[in-house]
């Protein structure tokens, strides 16, 4: 089966062609048009601006995706998959309407994909673990992105139980907002990750929201406020380079402590054999290292991440 995937849930217009051969997934081509530079001036994604740029980008992205495989045209596509939500409504509508149009033109079925389930299953791409073996289950999936912090028990493909979710601000949003507070550009996550390496993670005693609670829900709004007050209490017009680094390191340590603690508690509670890490914040080096380190204490535990899987083509 050859599938054309279309994604427009936030500020990136993306398309990919995925082949399924004897149950093995392989990404044949993948193209992303990023709006990062466009939204950097606003310090975050502006929904209406994002939707208008999707309208301009979606056809060129699709053209480039299909052109990468000269022997592939609409008649060779067996199914069209498109992100149907959650996400920005105006952005999602561009992808969905484009997919429906192509489905009518080519006479192909269109399947709406849940954005978060896409995250959950993305670690399987780029690793020789699909389809997973029965002994790899149950799996605990930590999905952390700009809009979501989600902990899921996966009993098998397609059978999920939400253990914990975001009750206010997601981890990725917290990274972006704190980065802005200390004078770093958007998106904040990668910049904080790099800067934290030169900082002291014990310089500021930031709170670890809900870390000791028995439930698995996440809350990062209070942590953002704590950072704001810590900066205020320094009584400086502009943070020094070392103050920036110390705040970045201390904030990142607080977030990672919460994410890792809750994930490993869930692993123990359900007897998980595998951890899957997905979402943009999953690229954070400290988080990945922590889960790898703590996962070694579980005899059969494996950690698979969606990051650094199949290379993609980036276009302006």
Q: What is the DSSP string of 66-79?
A: HHTSTT--GGG--E
pLDDT of residue 297: 66
Please write the tens of the pLDDT for every residue from 94-143. 999 999 999 999 999 999 999 999 988 888 776 666 678 888 899 999 99
pLDDT averaged over every residue in the chain: 89
pLDDT of residue 214: 87
**Mean local confidence (pLDDT), 197-226:** 94
Residue 315 makes CB contacts below 8 A (sequence gap 6+) with 31, 32, 33, 60, 61, 64
**Mean local confidence (pLDDT), 239-259:** 97
Kindly state the helix (H) or strand (E) to which residue 178 belongs, with its residue range: helix 171-181
Task: Outline which parts of the chain fall under CATH 3.30.420.40.
Answer: 2-108, 134-305
pLDDT of residue 213: 86
Q: Which is more confident, 24 or 192?
A: 192
Tell me the pLDDT band of 306, cut-offs 50, 70 and 90.
low
Tell me the pLDDT band of 26, cut-offs 50, 70 and 90.
confident
Kindly state the helix (H) or strand (E) to which residue 29 belongs, with its residue range: strand 24-34
Above 60 in pLDDT, residue 307?
Answer: no
Residue of 185, 192, 182, 298 lying closest to 255 (CA atoms): 192
Strands 149-156, 24-34: pairing kind: unpaired
Above 90 in pLDDT, residue 241?
Answer: yes
Structure tokens at 141: 């999936």
CATH code at 2-108: 3.30.420.40
pLDDT of residue 224: 95
pLDDT of residue 263: 95
Count, residues in the chain: 316
Phi, psi (degrees; rounded to nearest 5) at 256: -65, -40
pLDDT of residue 296: 75
Residue of 184, 229, 180, 240 lying closest to 207 (CA atoms): 229
**Mean local confidence (pLDDT), 162-168:** 94
Q: Which is more confident, 306 or 244?
A: 244
Residue of 273, 269, 280 lying closest to 295 (CA atoms): 273
For the chain, the farthest-separated pair of C-alpha atoms sits apart, in whole angstroms, at 65
Structure tokens at 168: 């206010």
Q: How buried is 139 (Cβ within 10 angstroms: 0-12 exposed, 13-18 middle, 19+ buried)? A: buried
Please write the tens of the pLDDT for every residue from 171-196. 999 999 999 999 999 889 999 999 99
Please, which residues bridge with residue 34 across strands?
12
Say whether domain 134-305 belongs to CATH 3.30.420.40: yes
Does residue 266 contact residue 162 with C-beta atoms inside 8 Å? no
Tell me the pLDDT band of 80, cut-offs 50, 70 and 90.
very high
Rg (CA), the chain: 20
Above 90 in pLDDT, residue 310?
Answer: no
Does residue 138 contact residue 162 with C-beta atoms inside 8 Å? no
pLDDT of residue 20: 85
Q: List for the chain the helix, strand, coil content (%; round to 5).
A: 45, 25, 35
**Mean local confidence (pLDDT), 278-304:** 79
Structure tokens at 226: 């704590």
**Mean local confidence (pLDDT), 197-211:** 95
Does residue 87 contact residue 115 with C-beta atoms inside 8 Å? yes
For 16, 25, 146, 197, 231, the CA distances from 188, given in Å and listed in that order, are 27, 32, 10, 15, 17
CA dist 296 and 175 (Å) reads: 27
Above 70 in pLDDT, residue 16?
Answer: yes
């Amino acid at each position: 089966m050859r599938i054309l995937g279309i994604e427009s849930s936030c500020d990136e217009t993306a398309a990919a062609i995925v082949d399924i051969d004897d149950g093995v997934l392989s990404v044949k081509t993948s193209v992303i048009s990023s709006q990062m530079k466009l939204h950097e001036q606003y310090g975050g994604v502006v929904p209406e601006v994002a939707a208008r740029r999707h309208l301009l980008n979606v056809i060129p992205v699709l053209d480039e995706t299909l052109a990468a495989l000269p022997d592939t045209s609409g008649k060779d596509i067996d199914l069209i998959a498109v992100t149907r939500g959650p996400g920005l409504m105006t952005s999602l509508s561009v992808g969905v309407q484009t997919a429906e149009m192509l489905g009518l033109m080519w006479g192909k079925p269109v399947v709406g994909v849940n954005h978060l389930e896409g995250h959950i299953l993305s670690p399987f791409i780029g690793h020789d673990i699909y389809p997973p073996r029965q002994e790899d289950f149950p799996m605990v999936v930590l999905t952390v992105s700009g809009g979501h912090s989600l902990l899921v028990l996966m009993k098998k493909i397609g059978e999920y139980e939400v253990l914990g979710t975001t009750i206010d601000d997601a981890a990725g949003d917290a990274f972006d907002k704190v980065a802005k507070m200390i004078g770093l550009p958007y998106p904040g996550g990668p910049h904080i990750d790099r800067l934290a390496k030169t900082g002291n993670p014990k310089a500021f005693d930031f709170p670890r929201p809900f870390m000791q609670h028995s439930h698995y829900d996440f809350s990062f709004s209070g942590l953002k406020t704590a950072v704001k007050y810590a900066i205020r209490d320094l009584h400086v017009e502009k943070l020094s380079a070392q103050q920036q680094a110390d705040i970045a390191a201390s904030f990142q340590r607080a977030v990672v402590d919460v994410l890792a603690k809750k994930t490993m508690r869930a692993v123990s509670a359900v007897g998980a054999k595998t951890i899957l890490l997905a979402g943009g914040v999953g690229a954070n080096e400290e988080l990945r290292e922590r889960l790898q380190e703590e996962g070694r204490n579980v005899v059969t535990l494996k950690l698979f991440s969606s990051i650094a899987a199949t290379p993609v083509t980036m276009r302006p």
